[in-house]
């Protein structure tokens, strides 16, 4: 059944229109990855949600205990799929004012998207190492991180499964979050690539506990323990959550977090 649209404050044919009730998601929650708090964080990937009932599905996920909503932005160029833009982020910010919006830019020219997503209400932007110009990739990555922080957001750097940790090891500490892809980006529902856990362990050993390490791709209750033990403290889950019925969301969220009660 479609969600009822809130009525705006004002008058209709001379009659007062009541103000809409406050959003149930306006309660204080984590809005930055660098905050202290219980870990790991669960970040449902909304790419796997029902786009016809996006707010409903995200509400189910947040009610189940997820702290983060993960937006996979694909441009049809860096990856073959085409997904969502700032308007989706803006709609989610309006509906979920207290939830951390984690925007993952799988795009060829990430700098074009920083300001539009910041204006749309994103809290965090992650861009990929791979499309950066090879001759000055490290300098470009650090420049982009400064640009993102100048907009008031936290900055993340993503690496694909074939990209070794050594490629980014000298600059990773300059970011708030390292995103290790456990599938080749472009489509949801892919199988988990277990070999990325080794570079995740090396990244955690190098970065210590002061930085977040996120993993995205094929994560489920079956492999979440391995992901956590490798050092990840932000787990992105798409099909493993949204592929199930809403009554299952709380149990799945607990299993991803490693809480069995």
Positions annotated as catalytic residues are 72, 216
Q: Which of 3, 32, 37 is nearest to 20 (CA)?
A: 3
The residue with tokens 């982020």 is: 89
Residue 118 has, within 13 A of its CA and on its CB side, a CA count of 15
Q: Residue ranges of the alpha helices (H) in 45-105?
A: 54-63, 86-95
What's the CA angle centered on 105, arms 53 and 194, to 5 degrees? 90
* Parallel, antiparallel or unpaired: strands 41-44 and 234-237: parallel
What gap in Å lies between CA 10 and CA 7, rounded to an integer? 9
Residues β-bridged to residue 11: 16
């Amino acid at each position: 059944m479609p969600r009822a649209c809130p009525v705006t404050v004002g008058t209709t044919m001379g009659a007062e229109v009541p103000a809409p009730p406050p959003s149930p998601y306006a309660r204080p929650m984590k809005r930055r990855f660098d905050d202290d708090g219980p870990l790991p964080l669960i970040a449902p990937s909304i790419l796997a949600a029902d786009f016809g009932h996006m707010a409903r599905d995200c509400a189910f996920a947040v009610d189940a205990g997820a702290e983060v909503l993960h937006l996979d932005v694909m441009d049809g160029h860096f990856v073959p799929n085409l997904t969502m833009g700032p308007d989706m982020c803006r709609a989610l910010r309006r509906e979920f004012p207290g939830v951390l919006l984690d925007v993952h830019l799988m795009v060829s020219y990430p700098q074009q998207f920083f300001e539009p997503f910041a204006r749309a209400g994103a809290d965090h932007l992650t861009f990929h190492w791979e499309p950066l110009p090879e001759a000055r990739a490290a300098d470009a990555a650090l420049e982009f991180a400064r640009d993102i922080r100048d907009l008031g957001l936290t900055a993340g750097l993503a690496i694909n499964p074939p990209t070794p940790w050594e490629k980014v090891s000298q600059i990773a500490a300059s970011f708030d979050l390292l995103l290790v892809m456990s599938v080749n980006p472009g489509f949801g529902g892919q199988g988990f690539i277990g070999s990325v856990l080794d570079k995740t362990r090396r990244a955690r050993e190098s970065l210590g506990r002061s930085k977040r390490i996120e993993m995205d791709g094929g994560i489920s209750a079956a492999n979440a323990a391995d992901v956590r033990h490798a050092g990840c403290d932000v787990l992105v889950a798409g099909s493993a959550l949204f592929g199930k019925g809403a009554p299952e969301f709380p149990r799945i969220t607990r299993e991803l977090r490693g809480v069995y009660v």
